[in-house]
């Protein structure tokens, strides 16, 4: 997917990029690839792949969660790595207020510099483990309308990291490549324990490559009990599964 195909594929979804946004994606691509020469950010570096598997893929939650397009939602991206999915969403929907959490400081440093280069405002960067960021005394606990995660962990672990950060009435959205039915089945009890309720599992294929994708949407329907998330390294810490 070259930049022109990216623009056309988004137009099909009702998203018209401005010239400024197209330039921001071009600058993102160049800075990602240049930094990746000395900081390990991504294995995907060819332009058509970055546009499809990072930029387009990151925007897919906006196809299924309509509020992303128009509402000034507070979003937390858990394990954002090189900024996916939250920074492509922020470029296209600048009204979003974004908090990025990653446990690797060199990635947070890259994202800080990138946001300055792209003139992005309303993005906060946190070098932290999600277990602590959403802990019982944290100001970030149950503070976000929407918590997003892509390629961080399986659903049972991810739910324990992400659901404590979601406000009651908000949503946790996981971007998944693999089949989700089994992952969801084994994490169902944990999701309910954490105050969540499965709302949707949308299956679709990426354009061009046809790679399968899932967007899993979990509604936060009640408060998460204070003992979650459990600390990383807790002895016998088993994922919350059936
Ligand atoms: C495979 S990368 C995925 C990055 C990005 N979400 C993407 O889709 O390209 C996983 C990222 O999650 C971060 N991570 C893993 N466990 C974490 C945790 N417990 N808290 C915060 N960040 C975490 C890693 O440092 C890494 O940057």
Judge whether 42 lies within some domain.
no
Within the chain, residue ranges assigned H as helices are 3-12, 19-36, 47-49, 57-59, 61-64, 67-70, 86-92, 105-117, 130-133, 155-162, 181-193
Q: Return d(Cα 71, Cα 68) in angstroms, integer.
A: 6
Nearest CA to ligand 1 atom 13: 79
pLDDT digits (tens, 9 = 90+) for 167-221: 999 999 999 998 888 888 889 999 999 999 999 999 999 999 999 999 999 999 9
List of residues 6+ apart from 129 with CB closer than 8 A: 103, 232
pLDDT digits (tens, 9 = 90+) for 10-47: 999 999 999 999 999 999 999 999 999 999 999 999 99
Relative to beta strand 97-102, strand 144-150 is unpaired
CB within 6 Å of ligand 1 — which residues?
79-82, 84, 101-104, 107, 129-131, 150-152, 161
Judge whether 43 lies within some domain.
no
Q: What is the CATH number of the domain that holds 165?
A: 3.40.50.150
Judge whether 7 lies within some domain.
no
Ligand 1 closest atom vs CA 130: 20
Q: Return d(Cα 163, Cα 134) in angstroms, integer.
A: 9
Judge whether 5 lies within some domain.
no
Distances (CA, A) of 241 to 71, 85, 161, 227, 237: 34, 26, 14, 16, 11
Judge whether 24 lies within some domain.
no
Judge whether 38 lies within some domain.
no
Tokens standing for residue 18: 């401005």
Q: Return d(Cα 81, Cα 100) in angstroms, integer.
A: 9
Tokens standing for residue 72: 């000034």
What ipTM score was computed for the predicted complex, to two decimals? 0.99
pLDDT of residue 238: 61
Residue 133 lies in domain: 53-237
CA of 53 relative to ligand 1 center, distance in Å: 16
pTM: 0.96
Judge whether 232 lies within some domain.
yes
Q: 178 phi and psi, to 5 degrees?
A: -85, 170
pLDDT digits (tens, 9 = 90+) for 46-99: 999 999 999 999 999 999 999 999 999 999 999 999 999 999 999 999 999 999
Measured CA angle at 154 (ends 200, 109), to 5 deg: 105
Judge whether 122 lies within some domain.
yes
Question: How many separate domains does the chain show?
Answer: 1
3-class state of residue 168 by DSSP: strand
pLDDT of residue 239: 61
């Amino acid at each position: 997917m070259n930049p022109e195909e990216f623009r056309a594929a988004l137009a099909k979804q009702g998203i018209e990029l401005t010239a400024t946004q197209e330039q921001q994606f071009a600058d993102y691509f160049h800075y990602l690839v240049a930094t990746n020469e000395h900081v390990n950010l991504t294995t995907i570096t060819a332009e058509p792949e970055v546009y499809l598997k990072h930029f387009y893929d990151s925007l897919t939650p906006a196809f299924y969660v309509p509020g992303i397009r128009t509402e000034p939602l507070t979003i937390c991206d858990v394990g954002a790595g090189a900024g996916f999915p939250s920074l492509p969403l922020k470029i296209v929907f600048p009204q979003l207020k974004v908090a990025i959490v990653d446990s690797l400081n060199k990635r947070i440093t890259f994202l800080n510099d990138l946001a300055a280069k792209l003139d992005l405002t309303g993005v906060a960067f946190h070098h932290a483990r999600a277990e602590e960021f959403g802990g019982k005394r944290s100001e970030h606990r149950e503070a976000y309308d929407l918590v997003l995660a892509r390629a961080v962990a399986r659903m049972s672990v991810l739910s324990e990291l992400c659901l404590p950060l979601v406000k009651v009435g908000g949503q946790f959205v996981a971007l998944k490549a693999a089949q989700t039915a089994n992952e969801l089945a084994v994490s169902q009890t944990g999701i309910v324990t954490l105050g969540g309720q499965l709302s949707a599992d949308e299956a679709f294929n990426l354009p061009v490559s046809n790679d399968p994708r899932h967007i899993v949407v979990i509604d936060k329907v009640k408060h998460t009990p204070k003992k979650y998330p459990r600390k990383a390294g807790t002895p016998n810490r088993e994922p919350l599964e059936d």
